[in-house]
Amino acid sequence: MSLLSTTSPDDYFATARTEIMPWLPEKVSRMLDLGCGTGATTQLVKSCRTVTYSAAVELMADKAERARAVCDHVWTGDINALVIEDDIAPGSLNLVLCLDVLEHLADPWTIISRLSALLAPGGRLILSVPNIRNYRFIWRLAMRGDFHYRDFGLLDRTHLRFFVRSTASELATSAGLSLLSATSVQSWRAPDWRWFANRLTRNYADEWLAKQWLVVAEKRP
């Protein structure tokens, strides 16, 4: 979940991630959504692409059950213990989504290696992770010594890994994919002061303003 989200956990798992839409490949016939929640984002992709096979992994059994109404195949459980490769051939997927899930894993680099092998040439990996460099977190840490884990947000007690833009990009490309973009999930508009901060710094202020990074990587032909 995003750094300072006021969305309830139940609403979050049922919310489609519209920010991925500009980054979808033109062809998405086969896709995988890791940490799919109730399948809302898969349903969104299906609304604008001809998806013939949609697979998903979800840790929470109740959310996975709801996702089965949307996805062709849903695995319930920890991706580390699942062998999805028995059902998904190497080089067969056009799209893999990992939205706010990798920070919960002890070894996301191994998972990225496994998922990258499943992508077809021209296929894309889209991931999002919280930004540990966000100015509000840094302020609380520096001025208040606040590094208390919480039920959700940046310091969700189930977060095991923390990222900034550069390390999120390195994760996405760690198995040989090519980086297409690494941008803030959130966008700012005037008269929001963050819009002016980005204009004055040629978007460098986003290093501290971003709550989450959206990273897109592609398997080159």
pLDDT at position 68 is: 97
pLDDT at position 208 is: 97
pLDDT at position 4 is: 39
Dihedral (CA of 80, 82, 84, 86) sign: positive
Q: Are 177 and 217 in contact (CB under 8 A)?
A: yes
pLDDT at position 96 is: 98
Q: Are 217 and 180 in contact (CB under 8 A)?
A: yes
pLDDT at position 14 is: 84
pLDDT at position 107 is: 98
Nearest to 36 by CA among 2, 53, 5, 61: 61
Report the C-alpha gap between 36 and 59 in whole angstroms.
9
At residue 218, the 3 state secondary structure works out as strand
CA-to-CA dists, residue 47 to 40, 41, 50, angstroms: 11, 10, 8
Whether the full predicted model's pTM is greater than 0.85, yes or no, is yes
pLDDT at position 221 is: 86
pLDDT in tens, the chain (221 residues): 444 344 445 576 789 999 999 999 999 999 999 999 999 999 999 999 999 999 999 999 999 999 999 999 999 999 999 999 999 999 999 999 999 999 999 999 999 999 999 999 999 999 999 999 999 999 999 999 999 999 888 999 999 999 999 999 999 999 999 999 999 999 999 999 999 999 999 999 999 999 999 999 999 98
